[in-house]
Amino acid sequence: MASYNDKLIDSLATRIQLFLFWKSFDKEVIKTEDIANYIDEIEKFEIANDLANLYSNTYYQTKLKEKREILFNGKNAYVDNICKNIPSKTKIKELLRNELKPLKDKYKEKFEKIFPLKEFENMTKSKTTCSYCGISLAQIEELGKNGKLNNKRSDTRGYTLEIDRMLPNLEYSKKNCCMACYWCNNAKTDEFSPEEFKPIAEGIRKTWNERLKAIGYSEEEIKDVPDPEIWNTKFDTSMEPDIEK
């Protein structure tokens, strides 16, 4: 399972890419080597759902060299110019080890407020049931022992739950994260909100239930999804974090 530091870096990389996307609408082309000059702005930048969704459902769905116009809050930018502005996450992670390390150090304070380490540890260590399909780690273990799993990555994934961003275009935070089984996490990818994923999760759940019954589980032993409220989460749902004081 990915570490707290891994999630911090992934979250900050998301923030940097969205900041650079946002800056493109001010006609600013920020060179990769100049990102360090914007550390204070990046730290204070407020991520909005509509910006994050525009980034994924319009910018990323356009050929990157195409001169297509994108509008945001009455401002326009062209895809071919935007793509000059945004380095890959791999490149950003490299920068965070070097030129952007001061930003990572500053962001760590913010991240510890929106997703405290104790909350991360509680979520990853105490949660034993998939938030989407409802299967438990104990049930997964029994399915494996009884030849009812076909996962070929069981040495690294499958027998533990994985942390998932319910809204993948936003940062990691206590409010935006839940625990998912490997199969739901793999199926949901970055494509679906929980609301959209519900029928898919129910299909996965139905298959699990049939396999569990085949190894002797009764209806009473097969529990429902732990928090049905998760299905109310849409791409426009606010994930404004509850900051710990």
Domain locations in the chain?
A: 4-114, 117-232
Question: How many other β-carbons are positioned within 10 Å of the β-carbon of residue 84?
Answer: 14
| pLDDT confidence of residue 66 | 66
Q: How far apart are CA 187 and CA 234, in angstroms?
A: 17
When pLDDT is cut at 50, 70 and 90, the band that residue 200 belongs to is: very high
When pLDDT is cut at 50, 70 and 90, the band that residue 174 belongs to is: very high
Q: What is the DSSP letter of 239?
A: -
Query: Model's pTM, two decimal places?
Result: 0.88
Q: Are 151 and 182 in contact (CB under 8 A)?
A: yes
Dihedral, CA atoms, 120, 54, 45, 2, nearest 10 degrees? 20
Dihedral, CA atoms, 133, 136, 137, 141, nearest 10 degrees? -100
Does domain 117-232 fall under CATH 3.30.60.50? My reply is: no
Is the pLDDT assigned to residue 243 strictly greater than 60?
A: no
User: Where is average pLDDT lowest: 24-28, 58-62, 130-134?
Assistant: 58-62
